[in-house]
Chains A and B, each alone.
Chain A
Amino acid sequence: MRGPSVSNPAADSARGGILDREGALAKLMIAPAILYIVAMIGVPFVLAVLYSLSDATTGDPSIKLVGLRNFAAALADPVFRLSLWNTVFFTLASQCIVVLLSRLLATALLKTFRGKWLVRFLIMLPWTAPISLGTIGWLWMLDSIFSPIDWVLRYVGLLGVPGALLGGGTNLYYLGIPGLAISSIILVDVWRILPLATVIQLAGLSSIPKDLLEAAEVDGASPWRRTLMITIPLTLPITSIAFLFGVVFTFTDLVVVYVLTRGGPVHTTQVLSSWTFFKGIEGGDLAQGAAISLFMFPVLAAVAILILRMARRTEVV
């Protein structure tokens, strides 16, 4: 009868080879991730740079370099300039609202109350649904004829009768009037990012040592003072991460604008990603589309660096 096997490190090492060398094994394990990043992000990025310097079209994607002509053409295009402004404005406006609302929600979710799980579930729901599906839902909510919001407003007499607060028309045409269309885009951006930001904020708030807040309370600090002097400073790094993640998601998003307005009315909601698509893919000017998309790169690179720094600070905290 054979007894239990006994480990022989020398023999195992000789047999195991790379599996027993920590450094080599680490490289081996990380290699798929690096390969994935190179293939899915690195190669397309280099290709985008090459396309932006070429005269490539969708029908002729061969690369013949033409210098910075596409960047100059993009800057001379008034639609591009408006798209750039819209991208920055929609991102900052939506993320400021997101930070504010997510803090409020996270604070509320720290408390114990009946039905808390349901509230958490409802808050997380927009994050679990595909963006395109959720945005199509909003398209219906904001429809020029069938909007249920308008239906409610008409029902309560705020719309559709002479002298009504929101006018005598049957609908508000959310996506047909520039101001309302811009607000609608921001609203949907907020709706989409809020769950993620809330979860991040919740994690930040949960990490504050309770004894610190209790000590401040014992010392007579008011809730407002505790918030200003303890909660906000201690959660600032993680709040910044929530904000920066939201910036990345919103700045690069194509779906919300494409589904809701296609950049209209008259480009008033056009953003860089949608303009890239219309110009580069639908219009066939691949090189120009690549140049437009690359204008997003400096902002995204800066945000990525900031996120990494913030993450490090959070670790210290």
Chain B
Amino acid sequence: MAKRSLLTRRDFIKAAGVGAVAMGVAPTIFLPRQAHGASKELKILVWSHFVPRFDKEWYDGYVQKWGEANDVKVTVDHINLAEIPSRTAAEVAAGQGHDLIEWIAPPSQFEPSVLDLGDVVKEAEKRYGKQHPLCRGSSYNPNTKKFYSFCPGWTIDPGCYRKSLWEKAGKGSGPETWEDLITYGGKIKKDQGIQLGIGLSQELDSNMASRGLLWSYDSSIQDAEENVVLNNPKTIEAVSYMARLFKESMVPEVFAWTAVSNNQALIAGRASYILNSISAYRSAQQQVPEIAKDIYFTPALRGPRGTRFNSEHVIYCYVVPKYSKNVDSAKKFLLDLVGNYDQAMYKSELYNSPAFFDTPIPSGDRGYPAVKGAKKLIDLHNAWFSDDPFALPGEEKGKLAVLKDAEKWSANIGHPGPANPAEGEVFATFILPNMMANSARGMAPQTAVEQAELLTKTIFAKWRQKGLVGGKT
């Protein structure tokens, strides 16, 4: 008689089936149910801040305290800034996810899927005064009269220069005009072997820089009514300038520029001037103090007719997707965030600037040395930029003072019009930095502008059909 095997195929399958079912069911039987202390819930998705202590030492703790005070169970997820668009798209497509999603660029293309936050803006202005125009321009669609996001803050984008290098070139106060970058920046490159670092690449900072240059040359992608006006003599003038600037003052590294190149180049002592937020300077303070002490700042540089604008470096825009079941909590969170923005400014080491400058400073211990006489955020803004609380010992006072009036020379993406999905797609497909780079690589400026205009007009026409962009085709 054949000996029966210990385990037949049928036995094996049965055992495996039982095992699988048991594994699936076990957690629900054996694991303790999650305690629900709070009656409401709020899920927030935010970027991982460039200043790490902002998240660790303030934001995450603030959110939890806010949740406890408001009887809301709050969850915060941090993701890399590059993942925000795809993550938002996935959550919108799935119809579920976070109740609040923070963008660092205007999320205008998501207007059909997010709530109108006009009531939050109205209430915020009632409590905290007028919202800064560039924040409004980054969150409001004048065609649909809808606030597709709520903007509590932004980041200034000044120029950063190495004073010792510029002193040797005869301009110790740093560049004041774009032309100075050629005159003195070129001299520094030639005599001292240090180039300028203004990106001409397919990334964020290059996009900002090319917009700043275009605006300072009195041109833009669109006008205030969202008509495409890119192809004009002033754009060609700006593009021609960039070709000269590259030839005289830069090297091909700018075509491979990335979001960290500004910091790297400045810290490595390989850039005489960059266009960036103060994060590069803050990194230098920690890593190479001797270079940090040599870094000074300029406001937006003036173009040939005296105009000067830089793009905001980061614009914080929160959206509430339509699928959210916790809308009231989300709106309250946003309003309270504005009310506590003094802490956001300080804990970001002045990287964050407020959208509501007239917000009163709450009383009590705010987690930073009290500023005498300060009643509103504008007072803190002026005091801290006049006397940087994060300056190194022995570092010159008042280096950041030029940032005090940054709101006058900073503009939103889309300037002089609003941010919109067409401007967003032009940004995401790098049309402006490539227009500049084409010219720097030898293409005739007129041709570079015509190519950019063709791509831009196609994008604007498409979004206009959807009713999200104004102007005429």
Contacts and interface: CB of A to CB of B under 8 A. Distances in A.
Interface residues of A, number: 47
Contacts of B251: 169, 171, 173
Interface stretch (B59-67, B178-186, B263-271): B263-271
A139 to B, nearest CB: 8
B86 A281 contact: yes
B91 to A, nearest CB: 10
Interface stretch (A214-222, A243-251, A282-290): A282-290
Contacts of B86: 277, 281-282
B111 interface: yes
A19 B202 CA distance: 59
Q: Choose among B89, B441, B455 the residue with the greatest number of A CB atoms under 10 Å from its CB.
A: B89
A146 B1 CA distance: 76
Interface stretch (A51-59, A87-95, A110-118, A185-193): A51-59
Contacts of B14: 19
Given A20-B10, A176-B254, A264 B201 contact: yes
A292 B120 CA distance: 39
B434 interface: yes
A6 B459 CA distance: 77
A267 interface: yes
Q: Which 6 A-B pairs have the closest CB atoms?
A: A284-B109, A144-B253, A176-B256, A265-B255, A175-B256, A60-B112
A201 interface: no
A61 B114 CA distance: 13
A52 to B, nearest CB: 15
Interface in A19-61: 19-20, 55, 57-61
Interface string B401-424: 000000000000000000001001
B429 A279 contact: yes
Interface of A, helix, strand, loop or mixed by DSSP: loop
Contact of B111 (A59, A277, A282): A59
Interface in A154-184: 169, 171, 173-177, 181
Contacts of A284: 85, 109-110, 421, 424-425, 428
How big is the B interface, by class? 35 or more
B253 A266 contact: no
A77 B459 CA distance: 11
A284 B89 CA distance: 8
Given A177-B255, A286-B89, A19 B9 contact: yes
Contacts of B4: 4-7
12 contacts: A58-B93, A59-B111, A60-B466, A79-B429, A173-B251, A176-B253, A176-B256, A264-B256, A264-B430, A264-B437, A284-B421, A285-B425
B268 A145 contact: yes
Q: Choose among A19, A20, A282, A286 the residue with the greatest number of B CB atoms under 10 Å from its CB.
A: A282
Nearest to B268: A145
A298 B132 CA distance: 51
Contacts of A278: 428-430
B391 interface: no
Interface string B423-466: 01100111000100110010000000001000100110010011
A195 B342 CA distance: 55
Interface string B186-210: 0000000000000011110000000
A103 interface: no
A305 B417 CA distance: 52
Interface string B461-473: 0100110000000
B113 A60 contact: yes
B202 A264 contact: yes
Contacts of B51: none
A173 B255 contact: yes
Contacts of A277: 86
A237 interface: no
B261 interface: yes
A263 interface: yes
B252 interface: yes
B210 to A, nearest CB: 12
B255 A59 contact: no
Contacts of B93: 58, 61
Given A55-B466, A181-B256, A282-B428, A266 B109 contact: no
A16 B10 contact: yes
Nearest to B89: A58
A4 B5 CA distance: 12
Interface in A115-145: 143-145
Contact of A145 (B201, B264, B434): B264
A293 interface: no
Nearest to B4: A7
Contacts of A263: 202, 430
B264 A146 contact: yes
Q: Choose among A7, A61, A176 the residue with the greatest number of B CB atoms under 10 Å from its CB.
A: A176
Contact of B421 (A5, A59, A261): A59
A174 B434 CA distance: 18
B253 A171 contact: yes
B13 interface: yes
A106 to B, nearest CB: 35
B421 to A, nearest CB: 6
Nearest to A171: B253
Interface in B91-127: 92-93, 109-114
A218 to B, nearest CB: 50
Q: Choose among B9, B256, B428, B429 the residue with the greatest number of A CB atoms under 10 Å from its CB.
A: B256
Contacts of A144: 252-253, 256, 261
A248 B251 CA distance: 36
Interface in B42-95: 85-86, 88-89, 92-93
Contacts of A282: 85-86, 428-429
B448 to A, nearest CB: 10
A240 B114 CA distance: 50
Nearest to B425: A283
A229 interface: no
B15 to A, nearest CB: 12
Given A57-B109, A144-B253, A261-B256, A266 B264 contact: no
A55 B466 CA distance: 9
Contacts of B438: 266
Interface in B11-54: 13-14
A73 interface: yes
Interface string A269-310: 000000001110111111000000000000000000000000
